[in-house]
Amino acid sequence: MQTILISFIISTILTPIIIKIAHQRNWLAHPTKNRWHSKPTALFGGIGIFLSIAIPMFWITDLSELFKMLNAQNGVVQQMPHLSAVLLAGMCFVFMLGLLDDFFQIRPHSKLVGQFIAALFVTFAGYRLNWSLSLTLDTMLTIVWIVGMTNAFNLLDNMDGLCAGAGLSSALALAFLYQTHSPEIAMIAFIIAGAMGGFLVYNFNPAKIFMGDCGSLTIGFSLSVLILYYSPRQDANISFAVYVVPVLIFIVPIIDTTLVTVVRILSGRKAYIGGKDHTSHRLVLSGFSERGAVLVLYGIGFISGLAALFVNTHDRFTSPVVIIPILVIVVLLAGYLAQVRVYPENEYCLLKGRRFTPFLENLTHKRQIFLVLLDFCIISFSYYLSYRIRFQGANFSFYFQIFLQSLPPIIAAKFLAFFMTGVYKGMFKQISISDVRTLLNGTVLASMICIVVMTYIYRFEDFSKGIFIIDWFFTTGMVFGTRVSFRIFSDSLQRKNCAVIVFSYMVRGVAVKSFCVK
């Protein structure tokens, strides 16, 4: 824990010095149409981040192991060097790559080649994900993971304090993940967290300095490599947590990169060119302040990090308690942000004249698609909770197998009932008594069909009526709550525009008001 304080102090000392030098030498980021900031801001904050991490790591790292690896005879590495040595060397290379890009604007494919070289160096040292039974496949996945997460943090550096805050939450999650069984790796994670915290003092809105590529690439590479140490700790059967924990720890950059990449490709834009279409930008366009948008993403990152720690210490029977709610939050967020149109309709140039254009436009902008995905999560989670509440203790492992077998027909039956009762016909912009009745009819019919199906397939053996009663309460509450949340979101955020006073006769005035509300 002392290392986080050391790196924090170094970062808070170096960053203002860099700000002063940047202003003296005119190393400033000036506002452009593709950038979010509105005033000239100091660059090269990544130098302070790098030094705040590298200086403490240099004192705790034995680089002799690295030299032994590089001087190995016949290219055969006798012993894996410690992760700290590999990380420090790779981080120095990635930092220099980012610094060159900040100064000379190197081409994207050249920068990508450099990132692949850094990832190949890590795998050559013997560190890789343990996601499959094939070392070749694991090596390829590791390279894609490192390069992908490095670029994800680079793309995430799009609003004051966002990349540093997301890096802070991921680093803290990794630190507490390793604190018990790998304290030396936890120490490195605390060093990174301290550097992020110190830089965030000057980078939070309104930012006095930007980190640049030399900072965002360093953060993404360092954190993506640290998670590799988690995989070898698992048994030969590859634990459920091996896949889930990394995704939960890096949930914010994963969401942002996926959203931006898909939408840019659909709109005919290059995925690597910056723009005002990130998750944070969509939140601001929805009505949040810049600080509010960043704090929302901070919250998602910290909650997801806590969920990762929970999954790491619990079995696959208990883990869905936190995994599915996180998934619901992600789908809800995607549903909200999909309503925000950051591009004109005619800019979907790649889709013009295609038969699947209406479907893809719905996928990007329409709400029903996300409601179906959301209900899938809700149905699964409600059914799981009903089992968790009804069957506790040692017997749950037996009933969990019944839960897994019966879940597919339960999901199918509930979707059938929802479509039959018209749950997906309305947009729920205005919640009315009719909408409430539709939802109640849908959930009641869904429970009735589920009971009939379970009786037909399993003769209702090993089932309990209490399961379906509990399940109905959870399903009804969550389905209704998510629909109401769309209304609240629209009312509290999208309508925070300038006020309009309408002067007219009664009939025409009512008509204009009705039109504006719609």
Q: Residues 6 or more apart from 169 whose CB is under 8 A from it?
A: 252, 298, 301, 302, 305
Q: How many CB atoms lie within 10 A of CB 456?
A: 10
Q: Residues 6 or more apart from 273 whose CB is under 8 A from it?
A: 34, 264
User: Would the annotation count 497 as a binding residue?
Assistant: no
User: Would the annotation count 34 as a binding residue?
Assistant: no
From CA 252, how far away is CA 474, in angstroms rounded? 28
Beta-bridge partners for 29:
41
Number of H helices and number of E strands within the chain?
20, 2
Question: What token pair was written down for 339?
Answer: 């309503």
Query: With contact defined as beta carbons under 8 Å apart, do 443 and 472 qualify?
Result: yes
Q: How far is CA 236 from the centre of its chain?
A: 28
Beta-bridge partners for 209:
42
Three-point CA angle 334, 335, 336, nearest 5°: 90
SS3 of 59-74: HHCCCHHHHHHHCCHH
Question: What token pair was written down for 453?
Answer: 């199906």
Query: With contact defined as beta carbons under 8 Å apart, do 247 and 195 qualify?
Result: no
* Bridge-based pairing state of the strands 41-42 and 28-29: antiparallel
User: Position of tokens 């309503």?
Assistant: 339
Residues of each annotated binding site for Mg(2+):
154, 213
Residues of each annotated binding site:
154, 213
